[in-house]
């Protein structure tokens, strides 16, 4: 190895944590010193809690630096890049020079298939992707396999849709393949609507070519010649990288006419969404591409018969496509070696909320929730108690501590009343009110309902009114029953998944945290200390060390007390924001 | 910024004759003008044959589109699930207090507009907000105020 490579984690999360400044500094230093080094960008390794990440590859191996700021970057450059001595104190972990065999416990439990290149290659450089066997799967399929053979591999792999419902991918492709017609469409759903999930963003920012290669393979199998990626408007960087990747594909002959010298022709267009959750639902998504309001359509006809522009259409999620090249290269059995009988392979999860190590992880399906949240995610910060994990976003549910041993696979999660969804996990601690969380989700689905079905449009509003009332301390006897009644009506009388699943966050919290609803309604109490009309903040004099942290954090200056003496909160001025509780090192702040 | 008819026409014309172009044309106008001026819809009808009522229906269906001008700095405060459980509502309240916004979303001097969004995709850094193109994560009330101070300082 001649040149030293300096890799900067440059996905949205890294940039938000300060990677832009770090990258600029490193680039300037390299230029200034004429150093034998190159600065490259890469996607997110998944360890978002340690961003910005800088990786140095030199003759001796690969070193990963965590939480790099400009000051640290300067030292890394001077001591490691120029001086050849890694800065031990800033290291995240060592990676062996032979490949990605991280010794670090966080990555150890993971199996990376979809995320294999994320945080490793430059996502804007097709040669980086090609060096990782990129487009080998497409070549293999086009030059050595029939459409049926390729389809069979996907069927045998047991791959299921990663967009939420878990429908077998091979089976879905076979429906569309069977439909007669010469004009077929292939769509990639990159709308990632679950607010609190970011797997697809990361895949698109970290390894867009894998997704596009998966699409090309699917198009070949199905016989589609037109492809669309429908990307969420809030993801400008993902859109930029997709655009670059599509252009590169075209330049290298992986898109267009006569792909790789065969008769296969395929092209991909990029469509930007415009901010509507319901457009993640596939028929609404088609309407949106067609330039209409994103309203779901009645099925049948199913998309495989009449989808986009009324033509046979196959739609899959970003992560679903991203798995396909690996499966073709390694075979169905290799994929099946991971996961469970019914849920084969690996799944990417995003960890966020009250968790020590928030980020992205890819694990074999079937591992217990507990291992994901505690072993990999590091558990709850500040020694607080775990309360629930929300899975499946607005269509999903909140699972309590007693279900932490549930294996993460489609059937097991569905049996709890939540859903696997697209893989977002938001962890909640003792200071999260489950009634308020249910209200949050209902507020979301109510706003996002397209309005086509009466029960979804108005039923969610009625449910929201009841939840508002409970959180305001005006709950009445019978409210819980009313919620249940409305929930069953909405589920039964809605056309699409949005309405059919909208009550789930309420139903699961009622199932697992009913006493919290009752405390609000009967005792006018919010046990988690969240619902402002029901609480007041206090400081336990015995536990207060008088450090003054709360006083400093208080935005309304209503805390008094001398250094070293117990502090006090003036209730009249308190806005109940909870900042004092968040910063108190001794846990002396409590609510009544 | 006030858009004049010729600027709008220039933005609309490239989409003439394209299918499914309603959303892209609205996006082009909003990106360049900052919002959708009322006359856009009639011009879209005139140039592209899409009924103004339909274009307006599409514009009001999607959260991205605005029919009123925004301030110089658009602050997008995330209230997705992760940000919500990490105190997004307090951040939002603090921002609105800081900018003295009672009911309006834009300050009187048209420098700041506040918008609530559901998830910016940086959930592991919650709570998160975006000012213009820049994303800020791991916000505390104090950090939020410091960020706003820096934008305010740039204005004087
Ligand atoms: C309200 C609603 C929102 C949805 N949002 C998404 C989404 O953001 N991304 C996605 O891939 N699928 C989403 N889906 C599921 C899609 O309709 C579809 O099932 C999926 O994209 C199929 O791909 P898959 O088989 O690869 O999972 C949503 C469904 C509903 C009902
Ligand atoms: S929930 Fe705020 S960035 Fe995702």
| pLDDT per position as a tens digit, A27-55 | 999 999 998 999 999 999 999 999 999 99
* Boundary residue ending a domain (A429, A458, A479): A429
- Identify whether A370 is part of a domain: yes
Summarised one tens digit per residue, pLDDT across range A375-392 is 999 999 988 999 999 999
Tally of domains within chain A: 5
Look up residue A567 and give its DSSP letter. -
Neighbours of B132 (CB within 10 A): 11
For ligand 1, say whether the CB of A171 is within 6 Å of any of its atoms: no
Residue A474 in tokens: 């005006």
Q: Is there a single domain that holds both residue A230 and residue A362? A: no
Ligand nearest to the CA of A278: 1
Q: In this structure, are residues A137 and A61 in contact, taking their beta carbons and an 8 Å threshold?
A: no
Q: Is there a single domain that holds both residue A62 and residue A180? A: no
- Give the model's pLDDT for residue A1: 46
Q: Is there a single domain that holds both residue A200 and residue A267? A: yes
Substitution target in B81, B141, B143, B145 with the highest count of A β-carbons within 10 Å is B81
For residue A96, name the pLDDT band (cuts at 50, 70, 90).
Answer: very low
Give the mean model confidence (pLDDT) for residues A535-551: 96
- Identify whether A34 is part of a domain: yes
Give the mean model confidence (pLDDT) for residues B19-43: 96
Q: Is there a single domain that holds both residue A215 and residue A311? A: yes
Q: Between chains, do B81 and A201 touch, taking CB under 8 Å as contact?
A: no
Name the average pLDDT for chain A. Answer: 95
For ligand 1, say whether the CB of A419 is within 6 Å of any of its atoms: no
- Give the model's pLDDT for residue B156: 66
- Give the model's pLDDT for residue A100: 46
- Cα dist. A392→A164, A220, A359, A424, B121 in Å? 7, 31, 17, 6, 15
Nearby residues of A514 by Cβ (< 8 Å), 6 or more positions away? A480
Residue A5 in tokens: 């490579």
Q: Say yes or no to pLDDT of B101 above 90.
A: yes
The shortest CB-CB distance from B64 to any of A15, A17, A275 is to A275
For residue A61, name the pLDDT band (cuts at 50, 70, 90).
Answer: confident
Ligand nearest to the CA of A161: 1
Instruction: Tell me which of A151 and A107 has the higher pLDDT.
Output: A151
Give the mean model confidence (pLDDT) for residues A495-524: 97
Calpha distance A388→A425 (Å, rounded): 10
- Give the model's pLDDT for residue A93: 62
Look up residue A352 and give its DSSP letter. E
Q: Specify the domain boundaries for CATH 3.40.30.10 within chain B.
A: 73-152
With a pLDDT cut of 90, the percent of chain B lying above it is 92
**CATH number of the domain where residue A82 is located:** 3.40.30.10
Look up residue A389 and give its DSSP letter. E
- Give the model's pLDDT for residue A99: 44
**CATH number of the domain where residue A518 is located:** 1.20.1440.230
The CATH architecture to which B73-152 belongs is 3-Layer(aba) Sandwich (3.40)
Q: Say yes or no to pLDDT of A105 above 60.
A: no
Calpha distance A539→A542 (Å, rounded): 9
Q: Is there a single domain that holds both residue A219 and residue A360? A: no
Domain range for A580 is: 536-591
Torsion of CA B81, B84, B88, B89, to 10 degrees: 130
- Identify whether A114 is part of a domain: no
Give the mean model confidence (pLDDT) for residues A334-350: 97
Collapsed DSSP state (helix, strand, coil) of residue A91: strand
- Give the model's pLDDT for residue A109: 80
The shortest CB-CB distance from B135 to any of A15, A288, A351 is to A15
* Boundary residue ending a domain (A495, A522, A549): A522
- Give the model's pLDDT for residue A107: 67
**CATH number of the domain where residue A551 is located:** 3.30.70.20
Residue from B82, B116, B144 whose mutation best tests the ligand 2 pocket (most atoms within 8 A of CB): B82
Q: Say yes or no to pLDDT of A106 above 70.
A: no
Which residue on chain A is closest to B134 by alpha carbon? A16
Q: Is there a single domain that holds both residue A85 and residue A71? A: yes
Q: Say yes or no to pLDDT of A512 above 80.
A: yes
Q: Is there a single domain that holds both residue A363 and residue A219? A: no
The closest of A14, A71, A2, A82 to A42, measured between CA atoms, is A14
Give the mean model confidence (pLDDT) for residues A398-410: 97
- Give the model's pLDDT for residue A3: 86
For residue A91, name the pLDDT band (cuts at 50, 70, 90).
Answer: confident
Q: How many CA atoms lie within 13 A of A11 on its CB side?
A: 36
Collapsed DSSP state (helix, strand, coil) of residue A4: strand
- Identify whether A24 is part of a domain: yes
Binding-face residues of A in 512-531 toward B, CB within 8 A? none
- Identify whether A309 is part of a domain: yes
Summarised one tens digit per residue, pLDDT across range A351-383 is 999 999 999 999 999 999 999 999 999 999 988
Ligand nearest to the CA of A196: 2
Q: How many CA atoms lie within 13 A of A73 on its CB side?
A: 26
ipTM: 0.95
CA of A353 to the centre of ligand 2 (A): 9
pTM score, whole prediction: 0.95
Give the closest residue (by CA) to ligand 2 atom 1: B80
Calpha distance A141→A254 (Å, rounded): 13
* Boundary residue ending a domain (A63, A88, A103): A103
Give the mean model confidence (pLDDT) for residues A166-187: 97
For residue A97, name the pLDDT band (cuts at 50, 70, 90).
Answer: very low
């Amino acid at each position: 190895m001649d040149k030293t490579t300096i890799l900067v984690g440059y996905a949205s999360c890294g940039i938000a944590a300060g990677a832009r400044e770090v990258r600029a500094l490193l680039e300037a230093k390299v230029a200034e010193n004429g150093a034998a080094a190159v600065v490259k960008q890469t996607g997110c390794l998944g360890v978002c809690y340690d961003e910005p990440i800088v990786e140095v590859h030199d003759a001796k191996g690969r070193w990963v630096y965590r939480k790099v700021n400009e000051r640290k970057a300067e030292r890394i450059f001077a001591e490691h890049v120029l001086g050849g001595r890694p800065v031990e104190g800033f290291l995240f972990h060592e990676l062996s020079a032979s490949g990605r065999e991280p010794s670090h416990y966080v990555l150890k439990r993971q199996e990376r298939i979809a995320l294999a290149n994320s945080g490793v290659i430059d996502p804007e450089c097709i040669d980086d992707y090609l060096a990782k066997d990129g487009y080998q799967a497409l070549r293999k399929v086009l030059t050595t396999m029939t459409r049926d053979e390729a389809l069979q591999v996907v069927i045998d792999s047991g791959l299921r849709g990663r967009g939420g419902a878990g429908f077998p991918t091979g089976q879905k492709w076979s429906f569309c393949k069977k439909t007669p017609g010469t004009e077929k469409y292939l769509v990639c759903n990159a709308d990632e609507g679950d607010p609190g999930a970011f797997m697809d963003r990361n895949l698109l920012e970290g390894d867009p070519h894998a997704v596009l290669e998966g699409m090309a393979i699917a198009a070949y199998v199905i016989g589609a010649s037109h492809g669309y990626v429908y990307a969420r408007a809030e993801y400008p960087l993902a859109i930029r990288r997709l655009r670059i990747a599509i252009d590169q594909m075209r330049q290298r002959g992986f898109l267009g006419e006569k792909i790789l010298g065969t008769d296969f022709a395929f092209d991909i267009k990029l469509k930007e969404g415009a901010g509507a959750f319901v457009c993640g639902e596939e028929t609404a998504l088609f309407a949106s591409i067609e330039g209409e309001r994103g309203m779901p359509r009645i099925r049948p006809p199913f998309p495989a018969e009449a989808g986009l522009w009324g033509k046979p259409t196959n739609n899959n999620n970003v992560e679903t496509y991203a798995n396909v090249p690996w499966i073709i290269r390694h075979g169905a059995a290799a994929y099946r070696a991971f996961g469970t009988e019914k849920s084969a392979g690996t799944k990417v999860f995003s960890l966020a909320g009250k968790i020590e190590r928030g980020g992205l992880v890819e694990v074999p399906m079937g591992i217990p929730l507990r291992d994901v949240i505690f072993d990999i995610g590091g558990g709850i910060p500040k020694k607080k108690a775990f309360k629930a994990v929300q899975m499946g976003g607005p269509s999903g549910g909140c699972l309590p501590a007693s279900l932490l041993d549930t294996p993460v696979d489609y059937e097991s999660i569905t049996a709890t009343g939540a859903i696997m969804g697209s893989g977002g996990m938001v962890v909640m601690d003792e200071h999260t009110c489950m009634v308020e969380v249910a209200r949050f989700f209902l507020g979301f689905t109510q706003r996002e309902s397209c309005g086509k079905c009466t029960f979804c449009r108005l039923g969610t509003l009625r449910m929201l009114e009841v939840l508002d009332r409970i959180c305001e301390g005006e709950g009445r006897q019978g409210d819980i029953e009313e919620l249940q009644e409305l929930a069953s009506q909405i589920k039964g009388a809605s056309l699409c998944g949005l309405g059919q699943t909208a009550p789930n966050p309420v139903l699961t919290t009622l199932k697992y945290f009913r006493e919290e609803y009752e405390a609000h309604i009967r005792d006018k109490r919010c046990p988690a200390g969240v619902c402002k009309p029901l609480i007041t903040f206090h400081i336990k004099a015995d536990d207060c060390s008088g450090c003054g942290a709360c006083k400093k954090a208080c935005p309304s200056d209503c805390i008094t007390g001398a250094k070293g003496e117990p502090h006090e909160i003036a209730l009249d001025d308190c806005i109940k924001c909870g900042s004092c509780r968040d910063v108190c090192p001794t846990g002396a702040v409590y609510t009544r | 910024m006030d858009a004049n008819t010729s600027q709008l026409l220039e933005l609309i014309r490239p989409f003439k004759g394209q299918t499914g172009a309603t959303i892209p044309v609205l996006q082009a106008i909003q990106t360049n003008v900052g919002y959708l001026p009322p006359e856009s819809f009639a011009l879209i009808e005139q140039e592209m044959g899409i009924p103004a009522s339909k274009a307006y229906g599409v514009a009001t269906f999607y959260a991205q589109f605005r029919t009123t001008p925004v301030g110089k700095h658009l602050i997008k405060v995330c209230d997705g699930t992760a940000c919500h459980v990490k105190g997004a509502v307090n951040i939002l309240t603090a921002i609105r207090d800081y900018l003295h916004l009672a009911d309006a979303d834009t300050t009187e001097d048209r420098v700041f507009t506040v918008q609530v969004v559901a998830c910016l995709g940086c959930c592991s850094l919650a709570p998160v907000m975006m000012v213009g193109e820049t994303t800020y994560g791991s916000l505390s009330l104090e950090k939020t105020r410091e960020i706003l101070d820096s934008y305010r300082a740039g204005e004087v």
